[in-house]
Structures are given as structure tokens and as C-alpha cells.
Structure 1
Amino acid sequence: MEVEHVSENMIRVVLGSHDLEERGVTMLDLLGNRKQIEAFFYSILEEVDTDHTFTQDQTVTFQVVPKNNGLELLISKAPKNGQDKSSQDENQLLQTLGLVDTTDDVADTVDNTDSSSVTKVLVFKFTDFEDFVSLSKVLTAESILSTLFKYQGTYYLELTVYVDELHSITMDNLVALIQEYGQLVQESPEILAEFGQAVMEQSALELARYYFK
């Protein structure tokens, strides 16, 4: 296991397949059980947070992507009252790594914590899971955070898009591409988060490409 303290507010952990095996889990286990995901991430945090600065009276967030039969995990302190400058700097690092992006509505909005970043949140519905898998193989644009939900027997993909960071595709073309596989809908992300089942969080497109070749 590789551990890097990127800053006082962020730890980067790289776990290989052997690290997962030592802890008795596989990537498929983590994909299929949300509670197991949370428990596993917090167990890793306990291992690497030796001075307890992250776990003491502090909310943390996790970002994860598959990496060489293992995973890369970024653990960040969540700001208590909005984002301070250091949090903004760390979000910029996450954006550079392609691991996190934040958005608001279907209409263009300006992120409250960074007035220079125009963002969007889009929700798409799929007739079946295979349509989502097919999309994952063709949609490789960076600056997109993707979470797959199952809600009332239907799969929904919530996309958070950093519009300013899109370089390989325009927003219009992005939506047009996705609509070849799914339907743009008005379902609220909050409803999906509260009542739906999160199947793959944060990096759904990357995970689908990785496991469904």
C-alpha cells in the first residue's frame, strides 16, 4: 500500500490487488455492497491517519478510481462551513486527476465556491444496464463525476460535469452522445440519493469500463 500526505487536508492511498487480498476484499465486493465500501474506506483511514487528525471531530470524503487491478483512494477533510481556500486548491487537484467534479442544475450555474467554474448536473435514465455499459465504453471525457443509481427498478446515471474543463467534447455533443444510450430526465439527484440504491459511486463510467470489457 502506498500512502502520500498530499496536504494537511488530503491523503492519497494506492492499494494493489494484494493489498485488497490481505484485507479479505475484492473490487467486486466493494462494488456490490455500499456498507462494505464505507467500512473498508474507514478502515484504511484508520491505518493511514496515524495522528488522528482526520478522524477527530472531522467529516471526511472519499474519491476512488480503479488502478492496475487495485484502486487509488483520495481521502479529504470536508470543510465544516463552506470551502476555504485550501479546500478549493485540493478540489482543483482532484479535477486535474480526473477524480472529482461538482455541478448544480441542468441549466448552467456558477459554483458558489469557485465563481470561475461553470458546472452542470445531468440525470439520464437507461432502459437496461447494458445500455449504460455500452455508454461507458464510448464516453471517456474527463472532468465528469458519475454515479449510477437503481431507483424503482430503473438505472439512472447522475453526471456532474465541469463545463470549463471539457476539452475533447462540447456540452451539446456530450448530451447528444449520452442520449444515444439513455434518456435525459428531470429526476432530482436528491431523490435518487435518498430513495435510490447507489450501484457505483463517483466513478461509475470508469468502473463499468474496467469490469465490463
Structure 2
Amino acid sequence: MEIERINEDTVKFFLSYVDIEERGFTREEVWNNREKSEELFWDMMDEINEQSEFAVEGPLWIQVHAKNDGIEVTVTRALANDGQMIESPFYDEDPSQLFQEQDDGTFEDIEDILKNGLNKENDWLENTFVFNDFEDVISITSRMHDYEAHTSLYAYESKYYLHVKYDVEEMDNKQKTNMFSVLSEFAKPDKITIHILQEYGKVIFESDVFSQIEKYF
């Protein structure tokens, strides 16, 4: 695997299909199996953290390029060390082309590699936050009504996971920063995927989490 540190908040890596197979994955799994592609991605991020001290903290911007001999992935932390939201470095491109054809390769349909990235059809950012107990979720309810976000809540392995999805163009940087500040008081960003929560977790609220908490609690 080739790793290039672009700047403090961005890293790029290239993984050949030979590398992928040596790590126990197949090319077909990477492009067509959501869980396998996510597993590979997080394995790579752990290795990158060890080699270049690029810690994954909070939401990420992800761009994947398919090439004949492998995949090239650029990862940017969406939340800087000072807590400010970083604009996507890929905004100049059509969001539907985040996974795009390269001159030396062809694009194959790929499942979302990561929970914390742009939705392929719209400019949506999705993140998951983990709370130690339900009382912590209740404690921020009154402060979350200022933000236009789609929310769902799950119980999984004795913790509570809040999935947040919002339109990056409808929410300015100040709102994004404020929302993350509120959530970070009682929760931590987590890399668990919404698909795992839906399959193995218990749904507490499928939508409008904070409105429903106010209604019932």
C-alpha cells in the first residue's frame, strides 16, 4: 500500500488488487460487498494511523477512484483539530461522480465504503454518535431542534447510537460546528455503520428522535 500525507487533515492511499488479495479480500468483494469494503477500509485507516499518525476522529470526506490495478482513496477529516467544520474538498465535482472513471481504468458500481461520506445521489453527510446511556440523549434534546437533520436512534451492545443525516448545503459551517459541539458533550463519533445498527441493533426511534423524546419523556 502506498500512503501520501497531503496535509494535516488529508491523506491519500493507493491499494493494488494484489495488496487487497494478500489481505484476504477479493476484487469482487471490495466493489460489491458493503460489509467487506467497509472492513477493508477501516483496516487501511488503522494501518495509516500507525504509519503516518493520521487519527480518524469525527466525520470524514471520502473520494474513491477506480483504476485498472487497484483503488486510490483520498480521506479528509471533516472536523479540524480546532473544532471547525472543513468544507468538502470535492465540492467542485458532481457528487454523483465521487466514484468516477479514471483515464487508466473503468468505474465499477461500488457500495458505500463508509458511513461518514457523501451520499452518491445527494449532498448528504451521515454520521453516527455513541452515547453511554439514554439519559445523555435526553439531556441534549432541547438543544437539537435548531438543526435540520434526519435522526434515528438504536440500542446496541448496551449503548445508544444516534445516526444523523443532513444536507451539507442547507447547513452552514457555524451550524455544523455548533451541532457537533452539542453532540460531543455527551457522545463520541463512532465508525459503526447504519447497516449494522439496522440489522443487529434495536430501533428506539426510527426518525425525529428529539421530537419523539420530548413527546414521550
TM-score if structure 2 supplies the norm length? Answer: 0.44
TM-score if structure 1 supplies the norm length? Answer: 0.45
